[in-house]
Structure 1
Amino acid sequence: MADTVTTTALATTATHCPYCSLQCGMRLTAGATPEVQERADFPVNRGALCGKGRSAAVLLAPGARLTTPLVRERGELRATSWPLALDRVAAGLAAVRAEHGANAVGVFGGGGLTNEKVYQLGKFARVALGTASIDYNGRFCMSSAAAASRLAFGLDRGLPFPLADIAHTGCLILVGGNPAETMPPALRYFRELRENGGTLIVVDPRRTRTAEQADLHLQPLPGTDLALALGLLHVLIADGLVDADFIAARTQGYGDARAAAMAHWPERVERITGVPAAQLRQAARYFGRAASGMVLTARGPEQQSKGTDTVGAWINLCLAAGKAGRPYSGYGCLTGQGNGQGGREHGQKADQLPGYRSIEDPAARAHVAAVWGVDPGALPRAGRSAYELLDSLGRSGPGGVHALLVMGSNPVVSAPHAAHVAERLRALGLLVVSDVVLSETAQLADVVLPSTQWAEETGTLTNLEGRVILRQQATAPPPGVRSDLWILRELAERLGAATPDARPGRFDDDPQTVFAELRRASAGGQADYTGISYDRIRAEDGVFWPCPDAEHPGTPRLFLDAFATPDGRARFAAVSHRPAAEEPDAEYPLYLTTGRVLAQYQSGAQTRRVAELVGAAPGPFVALHPRLAARLGVVEGGPLAVVSRRGRALAPARITDAIRPDTVFMPFHWAGPGRANTLTNPALDPTSKMPEFKVCAVRLELPSGELGRGSGTGDLG
């Protein structure tokens, strides 16, 4: 496949969308106004693009993004030179480290960074800073699914099969996901599934655009997905639909899982979830009787304080029905961020080293230390998870983090209990943000470093299938903008970790050189990229990991022969339902759940700067059922306050019968008065450390004259 097509005057580069984990193929024609074109030859999206992808080039305009470093002087951010900005950052980091110790310097990364940046950021934290205080916003994405997959299968990859396999399964249960709005080009595979005679079951408290495509929509109370999965397994067992031969040959731990399921009969599950027992039986029979089947989870069941157990219960359903480790069958997770998969494989997560290695494993430490040319004993141990790290910012005493480097993340909008997180960021002695735009988090920074974005740099990402792809530079960045790899190299040099006598490539800023080092560091790990090269990715439209050598074909389908556990058997999870960390009561009688809308992406830092997308989704809203609206006297479009134990958000009401009467919904893309994450609960899953974004207790209030005070784009703090 040719990388660049030369037209009469302009060059067109094959590349990928900067947004979600599909990493849709596209072509970008360079010029004064770069133009996005379809790329039908890429197998994931086959030319289809959503509005976000089609408008992605808007942010390449200099007026839409940062183009010069900024430093805070007398309370204001002012333009400065790169040497002065970097000197200030390095001096500040070194001063905090000298006064408080290495772990008082923190690093917070992002699930949209390329694999090269992820790798280099993790190495920078552990080698240049010597800190254990590193994590990333992907902890808020699919950490529960990752934890449950490792427990069940010994390995975590978003989808253990290509996305296109969805069209050929007999029955698919989609739990808490809405790809019609979050990754629209993927919806074709769900439509094709039904056209091929398969059954689509959607589990969601809302009747989303995806749920409208389903053969059966189960609408449970938020936070009860675990009970629902146990009830479905109960029906499989009662109806004789379990695959006893598969269970005996390829699993262990079924007895405890069976006992838990038998305590969750359909009528009991109906009382817990609100899903009628008849629908529960119908769904279980669809799944159990199909020749093949899949369960896909997304943020709904995962962003809970029991997310790991909840996903484990859905995996149990696959294992009991014999629908795992077989063609067109298995459990998978719809990863959210663009590099949500690769972002957790190569070292920016608090407990991991490159190649999906545990930082506590002596052999892993020795291998990676050898690649880095350092003593294994000098590497820090596992650090704290994302919310725990953010909560520690600016605190006095042991464990407090006093300086933070944020790269490619906007926690002021995306973190739970967001007003508290903004307060902790303000308490820092030094906050440094590297980003494309002046996000709400960057607005609080002491130093802001303008970085290159998707079309201005080359680097690899790993999509939700485990396909490693190459986003290629298509246009030059504006003068004054530098890559994150360059920034890390410059800071490492100033901190004495990349001295002239250091071996070549130690903190290189050439992405292909960094990727070559990443391949060596990943060798022998679960996410082994050794056999993947830029040239091979170009030739093959991406390569699936693990790929341990250049002759290996890659692994599009995992577990067909054995699971990645020591004995090759999958593990059932012994789990039982328990309530959410916070249930409604007399003071806060309603459930709040949060999510995304079609025209916006994640914290909105980029999409809220695209006029076309703002026109389609101009601001936050509160969705509530007509019966609830009538009872409270709420009118369509009128101001409505949502109040939790953590704060208050204000947005227009949107009245719809697509939601349960006991539940309200808010999208989380906006800052300001309508910031949904002002309300959300930071209660953490004990295994994954995932916060409970998807369910908390709230009440509604009718304010008077407050909505006009804010535009929904500023910081509430």
Structure 2
Amino acid sequence: QFADVVLPAATWGEKTGTFTNADRTVHLCEKAVDPPGQARPDLDIFVDYAARMAFTDRDGAPLVQWGGPEEAFEAWKRCSAGRPCDYTGLTYAKLRGPTGIQWPCTDHAPDGTDRLYADGVDWAHPDLCETYGKDLVSGEPLGEDWYRSVNPVGKALIRPAPYMQPNEWPDPEYPFQLTTGRTIYHFHTRTKTGRVPELVDAAPEVWVEIAESDAVRLGLGEGDLVDVTTRCGALRGRLRLGTVRPGALFVPFHYGYWDTPAGKAPAPGTPGRAANELVPTRWDPVSKQPQFKTAAATLTLVERADELTS
């Protein structure tokens, strides 16, 4: 519903390429089966698209000068040369061995590197690092003189971030502090876990968790249908009496609209089910990660649990 053209892409078992684990181990994944229908490896799609659009580099040459996955890997090796994640010693032939290989893999370390910094040299050293960090509040780059003064030998530098106030505090109009988070049964927006019947049965819908003392004070009970409203939007879900502290509300952020009958968000002014729609837009000045975490909120009863089941 959001695209004029859909280009179906192959999954991991339907294409050849490399992937790298969090421990720096590079693996080669060979194509096992053909992709179904018109699906193609995403690399093929990108290369074909670049050719059809006649993309060029600043010298007028074709922007993409490789075709298959091994050629793309060779291009990536050239990009990685001399950097911490140096792949220049890796080849598809070497990766077809019995196990993966950890970068950096170079002429000096042809079998990869099990442990980094064993020689006492760190890429954080002032003579080797590419940047000197940023101010954790403003995001402004820091200078070389400052960096050399606090980290002259280039060891790991742990910098405390100052406490920053929440976006907003509860007030008489919005008396609760809403916080968003996870449930054990789902991952992110459930595009995978939402298709596993056992996980869907365990956590089928968004809910609102409240402290029992707050529920008693407001005359609310387990399973009541409620609206959570903030200055940004509203969400509707069933109430759970839980272990959150008094004055707080918890809502899991996994639920969106891809698996709803309409397949999209409700009309403006209608409560939805996506928790991130309730919180202000704010992001970390250094990492640029969105906060999507907290807001002042109010709670409204929509329907009693016994009325829902009657």
Q: Tell me the TM-score normalized by structure 1.
A: 0.34
Question: Is the alpha carbon distance of 1:582 and 1:457 closer, same or farther for their aligned partners in structure 2, counting shifts above 3 Å?
Answer: farther
Residues 1:447 and 2:5 aligned together:
yes
Structure 1 counterpart SS, 2:282: strand
**Match for residue 47 of structure 2?**
489
Question: Is the CA contact (8 Å cut-off) linking 2:55 and 2:62 kept in structure 1?
Answer: no
Question: Is the CA contact (8 Å cut-off) linking 1:634 and 1:640 kept in structure 2?
Answer: no
RMSD across aligned positions (CA): 3.0
Query: Match of 1:693, as an amino acid?
Result: F
Residues 1:667 and 2:252 aligned together:
yes
Deviations 1:617-659 (A, max 9, x none): 32222222222222233322221222222111112222222x3
**Match for residue 474 of structure 1?**
32
Deviation at 1:522, TM superposition (A): 1.2
Question: Is the CA contact (8 Å cut-off) linking 2:54 and 2:62 kept in structure 1?
Answer: no
Deviations 1:226-246 (A, max 9, x none): xxxxxxxxxxxxxxxxxxxxx
Query: Match of 1:564, as an amino acid?
Result: W
Query: Match of 1:614, as an amino acid?
Result: V
Structure 2 counterpart SS, 1:460: strand
**Match for residue 637 of structure 1?**
223
Deviation at 1:550, TM superposition (A): 7.7
Deviation at 1:605, TM superposition (A): 2.4
Superposed, 1:84-483 pairs within 5 Å as 443-483=1-41
Query: Match of 1:506, as an amino acid?
Result: Q
Structure 2 counterpart SS, 1:450: coil
Residues 1:654 and 2:240 aligned together:
yes
Structure 2 counterpart SS, 1:515: helix
Question: Is the alpha carbon distance of 1:572 and 1:611 closer, same or farther for their aligned partners in structure 2, counting shifts above 3 Å?
Answer: closer
Question: Is the alpha carbon distance of 1:496 and 1:503 closer, same or farther for their aligned partners in structure 2, counting shifts above 3 Å?
Answer: closer
**Match for residue 563 of structure 1?**
122
Deviations 1:452-507 (A, max 9, x none): 122222322233333333444333211211221121112111111279x9679615
**Match for residue 530 of structure 1?**
88
* Higher RCO by CA contacts (8 Å cutoff, separation 6 or greater): 1
Number of residue pairs matched by the alignment: 261
Query: Match of 1:698, as an amino acid?
Result: A
Deviation at 1:577, TM superposition (A): 1.8
Structure 2 counterpart SS, 1:682: coil
TM superposition outliers: structure 1 runs of 4+ over 4 Å: 501-505
Question: Is the alpha carbon distance of 1:493 and 1:504 closer, same or farther for their aligned partners in structure 2, counting shifts above 3 Å?
Answer: closer
Question: Is the CA contact (8 Å cut-off) linking 1:524 and 1:548 kept in structure 2?
Answer: no
Question: Is the CA contact (8 Å cut-off) linking 1:532 and 1:550 kept in structure 2?
Answer: no
Query: Match of 2:302, as an amino acid?
Result: P
Structure 1 counterpart SS, 2:97: helix
**Match for residue 623 of structure 1?**
209
Q: Take 1:505 and 1:572, find their aligned partners in 2: how far apart are those partners? A: 40
Structure that is richer in helix per residue: 1
- CA radius of gyration, larger in: 2
**Match for residue 289 of structure 2?**
690
Identity fraction in percent: 38
**Match for residue 171 of structure 2?**
585
Instruction: Identify the match of residue 546 of structure 1 among 104, 111, 120.
Output: 104
Q: Take 1:694 and 1:539, find their aligned partners in 2: how far apart are those partners? A: 45
**Match for residue 167 of structure 1?**
none
Query: Match of 2:246, as an amino acid?
Result: P
Structure 2 counterpart SS, 1:624: strand
Structure 2 counterpart SS, 1:539: coil
Q: Take 2:26 and 2:210, find their aligned partners in 1: how far apart are those partners? A: 41
Structure 2 counterpart SS, 1:580: coil
Question: Is the alpha carbon distance of 1:588 and 1:545 closer, same or farther for their aligned partners in structure 2, counting shifts above 3 Å?
Answer: farther
Deviation at 1:528, TM superposition (A): 1.9
Q: Take 1:528 and 1:603, find their aligned partners in 2: how far apart are those partners? A: 34
Structure 1 counterpart SS, 2:201: helix
Q: Take 1:694 and 1:465, find their aligned partners in 2: how far apart are those partners? A: 29
Superposed, 1:607-622 pairs within 5 Å as 607-622=193-208
**Match for residue 506 of structure 1?**
65
Structure 2 counterpart SS, 1:615: helix
Question: Is the CA contact (8 Å cut-off) linking 1:584 and 1:590 kept in structure 2?
Answer: yes
Question: Is the CA contact (8 Å cut-off) linking 1:590 and 1:697 kept in structure 2?
Answer: yes
Q: Take 1:468 and 1:572, find their aligned partners in 2: how far apart are those partners? A: 28
Deviation at 1:572, TM superposition (A): 4.2
Question: Is the alpha carbon distance of 1:562 and 1:701 closer, same or farther for their aligned partners in structure 2, counting shifts above 3 Å?
Answer: farther
5+ unaligned residues in a row in structure 1: which ranges? 1-442, 706-717
Q: Tell me the TM-score normalized by structure 2.
A: 0.73
Query: Match of 1:589, as an amino acid?
Result: P
**Match for residue 266 of structure 2?**
none
**Match for residue 300 of structure 2?**
701
Deviations 1:213-256 (A, max 9, x none): xxxxxxxxxxxxxxxxxxxxxxxxxxxxxxxxxxxxxxxxxxxx
Deviations 1:321-348 (A, max 9, x none): xxxxxxxxxxxxxxxxxxxxxxxxxxxx
Q: Take 1:667 and 1:629, find their aligned partners in 2: how far apart are those partners? A: 19
Q: Take 1:556 and 1:697, find their aligned partners in 2: how far apart are those partners? A: 48
Structure 2 counterpart SS, 1:449: coil
Q: Take 1:504 and 1:647, find their aligned partners in 2: how far apart are those partners? A: 44
Structure 2 counterpart SS, 1:696: strand
Question: Is the CA contact (8 Å cut-off) linking 2:226 and 2:303 kept in structure 1?
Answer: no
Deviations 1:374-427 (A, max 9, x none): xxxxxxxxxxxxxxxxxxxxxxxxxxxxxxxxxxxxxxxxxxxxxxxxxxxxxx
Deviation at 1:518, TM superposition (A): 0.9
Query: Match of 1:625, as an amino acid?
Result: A
Query: Match of 1:669, as an amino acid?
Result: H
